[in-house]
Amino acid sequence: MYAAMPTQTQQYVYGNKPETPPVTPGRLRQEGLDESYRNITIIMHLSLLAGLVFSMGPFAVLLPVAFWFIYRSKSEFINDHGREVINFGLSMILFSFAVITIPFIIIILLVNTIRAAKAAHRGEYFRYPITIRFLS
For residue 111, what are the CA distances in angstroms to 5, 76, 126?
Answer: 42, 25, 13
Domain ranges (residues) in the chain: 33-121
Using left for φ > 0, alpha for ψ between -120 and 50, and beta otherwise, residue 98 falls in beta
pLDDT digits (tens, 9 = 90+) for 67-103: 899 998 988 888 988 998 999 888 888 877 776 667 7
Which segment of 16-30, 45-59, 94-108, 122-136 scores lowest on mean pLDDT?
16-30
Return the higher-pLDDT residue of 30 and 108: 108
103, 2, 96, 117: which is closest to 49 by C-alpha? 117
Q: Is the pLDDT of residue 7 over 80?
A: no
Average pLDDT, stretch 43-50? 87
d(CA 42, CA 77): 11
d(CA 134, CA 3): 42
